[in-house]
Amino acid sequence: MSLSRFLAAACAALLFLPISAQAQAPTVDRVDPSNWWTGMVWNDVQLMVYGDHLDAVTARAPADGITVTAVHSVPNDDYAFIDVTLAEDLAPGRYDIIVSSPGGDDTIAFPVQERTVGPDGPDGFGPDDVVYLITPDRFANGNPSNDRVEGIRDEYDPSDPRMRHGGDLRGIIEHLDELEELGVTTLWLTPILENRGRNSYHGYAATDLYRVDPRFGTNDTYRELVAEAHEHGLKVIYDHVSNHIGIEHPWMENLPRESWVNGSVEDHHSDKHYKMSVADPHADPEQEELLRTFWFVDAMPDLNQEDPFVSTYLIQNMIWWIETTGLDGIREDTYPYADPEFLSEWAEALQAEYPNLSIVGEVWDTAPAYTAMYQSGSPLTTGVETHLPSVMDFALSTALRDYLQGDGGLSDVYQVLAQDLLYGDPMRVMTLIDNHDMPRAAYLADGDRKRLKQVLTMLFTLRGIPQMLYGTEIGMVGGQSHVELRADYPGGFPGDKRSAFTREGRTASENDIYDHIQSLLALRSEHEALRRGRLVQYPPTYGHPVYTYRRVGDNEEFLVIVNGGDEARRVDLEEELNHRTVPVRLVDAVTRQEASLSGQTPSRSIEVDARSANVYRVVSRKK
């Protein structure tokens, strides 16, 4: 065979080689985030690209104003990370990013939109607010057509407390009038992201961080909810989880990087809730490492925020949700479990973008010193500046709950509040008596409505940002298990025989609790002293089950008297009112009736009913 015939045959043979042996063009199936905005502080955006044949790709952006600064290939050629910089004066529009390899090109269409929230928003939440916590699946079903969704495991079974019951975002939208009428100011929804896992109605096992679960609605429905809430004067808090995802997230079948999660399905730590190791001077350093890396449960893989691509993904994801929807604040789940350096960077980046943004961290511990060290400005420290404006006050919650069920006294409440010097700002801690993870207040009260109303009065008149669980306003009873306490709200679901959203649909006892809370919230809204006034408290004396405290504002003052005893008693107010001249009038802030005082200075006292909590407006001349 001549050389020319040999070369011709060899070239012809190459045409019949398997396609896999030839360079193939990259294909892009998805990009996170799918868009960005003009005028953002965070204008260096890292795109996580999903597709095929993405190893060793290059990228370019033909248009002026958007520049590809780096392309990061990873061993898994189903992913690549592309860094782009958006010019400060970039005009809104669609911008193409060309992804190339020797086998060909693919184009990413990347919209850059005009900023909607603006650099000064959102307003955030604070002591002026009352937070209403909703588990969307159990609140109201406004769109039965999405109870079952094609392509997602069917878990709809209202008869099973562990399955989905059909509550959704539309149901919340339809009841905003009633929530506004109740007097709450802020809605905290447990996570609304897609959860494909089994028994994941609660939302804490996300399988797509950029998509609302279709059984709740769509991203547009969530945007509509935030807008409608704002029209009703209500704010919205986003429940965010940096620590973990759901086991059925597509990442777990095809990790972007080996370091994307801590451990693996086959080899990971569980049940290592070593929270106190962060503060314990005697702790083995390994304990704190286990706290950061263990899986919350086997169905919730632990994200590795020390991986720079993971941390950037999570920061951008949260900015994307704020800018997309206009939400007002964030509740950060399982705060001590994620990497502290990451959480500091995450909060700092969000507040650089939104200076008034509020973030409350779930730091679940009964020791004020432990909780306080996570709040920015605390004299205590975790060793890392958290940039965290607020934490949840589980220490006060425990004292109130112990008193409610007869296991503790009012002196315990006093003792917790006496440790407020540990906080950076005790006025900005979030207070609660129950939430979606603990037995309901009415369950602990065991039918004792007087004591329940006492604790509710303290919740709404002490310092902090009060939070109440949906159904607390009607005394819903839920037991020890999560599925029991996350019961359906009466009247929110097709076939319900009554609606507790209406006065006519509530029982007499439900209306009694509802009226009590509504009156307190109206009073709190009307008087700044009950929201932001200085707290002055007086220790209950031994054997004297009465707790008194004042809320002192610039132009008004309130006195709260809580009688924990089973008998009416005359309470000596000499210490509480010794800064006043006579006459002193106490006007019941709820009934508007004037309370009579017996005796003259220094012996001033008032009769209070058994197991009562009275809020009085103090009317007198100051010394």
Active site residues: 333, 362
Strands 534-538 and 358-361: unpaired
Contact of 392 with 360, CB cutoff 8 Å: yes
**Which residues does residue 230 pair with via DSSP β-bridges, in sequence order?**
none
Name the 3-class secondary structure at 190: coil
C-alpha span between 520 and 456 (Å, rounded): 9
Q: Give residues with Cβ within 8 angstroms of 291, minimum separation 6.
A: 272, 273, 274, 275, 277, 278, 336, 337
Q: Is 471 left (phi over 0), alpha (psi -120 to 50) or beta?
A: left
Contact 457, 551 (CB under 8 A): no
Work out the number of other CB atoms within 10 angstroms of the CB of residue 415.
16
Strand partners, 93: 112
By the 8 A CB rule, do 552 and 536 touch?
yes
Distance CA 270, CA 272 (A): 6
Q: How many CA atoms lie within 13 A of 278 on its CB side?
A: 25
| Ranges of H-type helices in 480-573 | 482-485, 508-526, 529-532
Distance, first Cα to last Cα, the chain: 119
What distance in Å separates the CA atoms of residue 530 and residue 462, rounded to the nearest whole number? 7
Give the torsion through C-alpha atoms of 563, 565, 566, 567, to 10 deg. Answer: -70
Q: Enumerate helices (H) and strands (E) in the chain, giving the number of each.
A: 16, 26
